[in-house]
Structure 1
Amino acid sequence: MADTLKTTPTPVRQLLRGRFGWFFVGRTVDLAGSSMTTVALALAVLQESGRASDLGIVLAADMIPTLVLLLVGGAVADRMSRRVLLISTNIASGSLMAAMAATLITNTYSLLLIASLAFVNGVVGAFSSPALRGIVPELVEQHDLQRVNALLSSIQNTVRILGPALASILVTTIGGGWALAVDAITFVLAALAFTRIPGATRPPAAGQPLWRDLVDGWSVFRSLHWIVVMAISFALINAFNVGPWNVLGPQVVSDEDGAVGWGAVQSIRAVGLLVMSIVAVKIVLRRPLRDGRIWGTLAGLPLLALGLSGEAWVVAVAAFIGGLGFSVAAITWESTLQASVPQESLSRVAAYDDLLSFLAIPLSQIAVGPLSQAYGAREICIICGIAYMAACLFPLLNKQVRNLRS
């Protein structure tokens, strides 16, 4: 399916002892807290209010400012120390989680207060995400990028499995407020780890207005045609996948095997993501974008399984295989972007990439309900599964995507 080559760049043990090591520690703790926050906050709000509408308002309050300010966050991350930005945003997130925790622990729940804190947390997220994507090339050599992104992906997929379960246990045993207090501590610990990262070596950004940075970032983004093609591909992938998988998936599988079956599907998919992340530490792809697109088509199989079968075990097998392909596609994209875009523009280019991809998600979630009512849930899943695979492959029409080497 793809050309691979056994490689021995920098040993993993040496990477973890070097500049990248403290970032890896901080990112691990950061991911653990983030993976618990969504579940703990959702359960805590429902526990306190008993109203699903409250939860919807809180989640929307967190997401909207991230989308609105993402480009500004990318510009800021390119003009100042990404290390300092990560320390600041983690301290801010920890403080916000602590404030939410205090509100719930003292039984002074207020939708307006929780939603306001979630809104500010969304603002913080708009600045932390571009910094996270931009700092890795500052810490390792270019030939180690795939290896360290595979390591980061491995830990991310591990906490995806463990974090939500731990958050559920904490909410059930000690309450939602105390669960958020634990989350707050993880953000502070992550900030402490990030303080141990050596200072950045890249030159400071030119002193020009922020709007000029945004314009310059857009110029760099659109000048790299292969990045534009890939970003459009990701937007289409999200449009065809997120709504059908998250909205129709639980419905189709639950009709066949109950709610437990859908939970098992999600867990097995996470295992597939983790397995390939670990494997990717040991290999490198000769043509990462081309091979990543080919592997990525496997992630369309779960949608086809939903439409053609719907039985939990069939969907779970497809989800495991899809998880393998999705991991390869994600790791190769992140590594190629970091290696190919100048560091002084990387966070802004990543922000434009994220924004284009993320905007398709709410559209997909809104559209899939009416479409499934009109044409049938399984039929929509089959169509979207085929379209997903096509969206993965269409960047191969671009010569740079096909031929770019690691």
Structure 2
Amino acid sequence: MTVTACNPQQIIRLLLAASANVSLYGPQHPQVVRLLAQLCSQLESVLESAEELSFMMVDNELVINHQPQDACLFLSRIVELFKARGIEHLGISRGITPPEVEELVQALSTRPGTDGQLASSEHVRFGRLELRLDENEADGCGEVAGSPEALLPKLSEQELEQFNEIYRAVKRHQKLRLGGVVEMVNNLVDVLRQESLPLLVLATLRESDEYTFTHSTNVCILNLAQAAALGIKGQQLKDIGIAAMLHDIGKLFIPEEIITKPGALTDAEFKLMQEHPVRGARYLMEQTGAPRIAAIAAYEHHAKFDLTGYPSFTPGWRLNLGSHLTMISDFFDATRTRRSYREPLPLDQIMNLMGSLAGSHLHPDLTRNFFQLLQPLTRS
């Protein structure tokens, strides 16, 4: 899928042209002044409808506002420019000033390796995609300190009942009560702001009938942690969390005896189960106010990185970044949770399994980044 609006790609063209002209003529040349004015105008236009314009490098691929871009000459040039300067994320937020635009262009035009060339400002942020954890985030015995129960006071019986009522309404084919989902995601965002190690706040499963709520909550937490580490924030971050909470909503339209069956599904039952991404996406597309990424992630979260999953995808289909994150979070939490028909896998087995699936089932670079979240748990 490609960004259809021309403005973000036009901004790339102007960034390339302005930085090249600054290198040739200097910042005061009339041609540079004209290009900077056009760039300011384009940015103002794009940021009227979005808090931030995000450019990310994922596996040598440019992602603009979470949408991978089809390869072309000028996008290849910006990819090479970013790589040469060590830029893996560029965030431009609403309110950027002309001096900040000029500083950005100067940074991109400066010869790679020059000290101080990537200084962030209030509305321009440079970053990298790697997830980093400080050495002091685990105690001296190699065990993770802290308690999920202490860090998640708002995952209460009341919130569980609220979640179940939302799902009961969906099963009755009523309108989605999005406000309750938004409230839960906002709570989780607040908790993660206070805790740098996301695995400390994963909820534990107490009873079998809590599985949907607990699993959706944990996928949300892991999605938020991954997205925040990629430099995503504000409403876009919350939308990725909402998508995680609702990624399995299509299962509500599958017979319950199939969903809760303790043994292996028959071929006919599995074929019916495979319909839940389409049913979930269709339902979410009909809900006023539901973020578009929620329907996309619901549709794509079983696609697999190589598109061999379900539903079937046309060759060249470009998966959304939010879907890649959800696949990783979904797989990790499903394998670490005890179910009636299966014991949870040990952490080292989960990591080995995810590593073997990176590049086929899971996005390879994002999987390696996700492993950084697990490092404090693997220290001896």
TM-score (norm 1): 0.23
Is the radius of gyration larger for structure 1 or structure 2?
2
Quick check: which one's strand share is greater?
2
The higher-RCO structure (CA 8 Å, 6+ apart) is: 1
TM-score (norm 2): 0.24
